[in-house]
């Protein structure tokens, strides 16, 4: 029997590596599928989805708004901030009214972090002074004076103190206080042209991969460690726990409500097309 190749994209960070470990290392039965991985930064994945280059991919919820006509959002694989999220850090403490006038290093214009930043200030991206760079160069940009403030994602959210930087704002905390909801950052999506039945099968495999990792946490964490960019083991464990949990297995009612609210506010600010609707694999 010939196997079907599925192109799979995810970012080189510990939570995605943890989530997809069982799939990529064949720890679970994969039916008739072979997964060909593309491991690259989230903004590159967002752009690959815009070009419809991947069958199954992690992507920013912000970017999903631009590909909703070509991709279905999966019910599993969510990265949601439960009162925490991307953080604004700098060499010194700045207040909100100061930050809006500063140059801010951001990890991509299609990231959910950037959208949340815009909602926080009530300004579209073109109204802010942004320095766009890969997520793993944001610290470098601030340390070397290319930006005054860094918008930090992935494990940088808990490792920024090692760079001698201070927290100016946690956007996940701000969002929770504003809406009472978790902050929807990343999700997994499947190309619509695969067909509904195949999308359901692939979603089931990804969910099982997440379950396997949670059931075999030590082994999956050991694998994820190589994507941690030198972060100490306790911080890796903490970071993975922040973004791979029960919400990752299923958005639930509150998770889906959070996505609806996030996109509604993006529409109101003029950051995404008003005709966008979110559709899940059912």
- Please identify every residue annotated as catalytic: 154
For residue 216, what are the CA distances in angstroms to 169, 209, 238? 34, 10, 16
C-beta separation of 199 from 190 below 8 A: yes
Phi-psi region of 262 (alpha: psi -120 to 50; beta: other; left: phi over 0): alpha
Placement of tokens 């922040």 in the chain: 242
Residue 26 per-residue DSSP state: T
Written as one string, the DSSP assignment of 45-94 is HHHHHHTT--SEEEEEHHHHHHHTTTEEEPSS--EEESS---EEEESS--
103 membership: H or E segment, kind and range:
strand 103-106
SS3 207: helix
């Amino acid at each position: 029997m010939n196997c079907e190749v599925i192109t799979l994209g995810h970012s080189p960070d510990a939570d995605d590596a943890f989530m997809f470990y069982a799939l990529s290392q064949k720890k679970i039965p994969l039916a008739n599928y072979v997964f060909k991985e593309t491991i690259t930064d989230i903004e590159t994945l967002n752009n690959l989805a815009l070009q419809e280059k991947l069958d199954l991919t992690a992507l920013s919820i912000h970017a999903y708004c631009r590909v909703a006509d070509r991709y279905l959002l999966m019910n599993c694989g969510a990265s949601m901030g439960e009162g925490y999220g991307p953080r604004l850090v700098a060499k010194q403490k700045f207040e909100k009214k100061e930050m809006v006038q500063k140059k801010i290093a951001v990890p991509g214009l299609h990231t959910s972090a950037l959208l949340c930043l815009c909602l926080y200030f009530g300004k579209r991206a073109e109204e802010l002074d942004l320095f766009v760079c890969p997520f793993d160069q944001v610290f470098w940009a601030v340390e070397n004076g290319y930006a005054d403030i860094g918008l930090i994602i992935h494990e940088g959210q808990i490792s920024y103190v090692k760079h001698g930087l201070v927290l100016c704002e946690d956007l996940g905390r701000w969002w929770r206080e504003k809406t009472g909801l978790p902050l929807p950052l990343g999700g997994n999506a499947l190309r619509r042209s695969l067909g509904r039945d195949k999308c359901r099968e692939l979603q089931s495999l990804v969910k099982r991969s997440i379950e396997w990792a949670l059931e075999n946490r030590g082994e999956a964490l050991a694998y994820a460690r190589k994507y941690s960019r030198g972060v100490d083991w306790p911080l890796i464990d903490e970071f993975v726990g922040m973004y791979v949990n029960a919400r990752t297995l299923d958005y639930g009612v509150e998770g889906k409500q959070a996505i609806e609210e996030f996109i509604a506010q993006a529409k109101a600010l003029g950051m995404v097309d008003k005709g966008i609707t979110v559709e899940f694999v059912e």
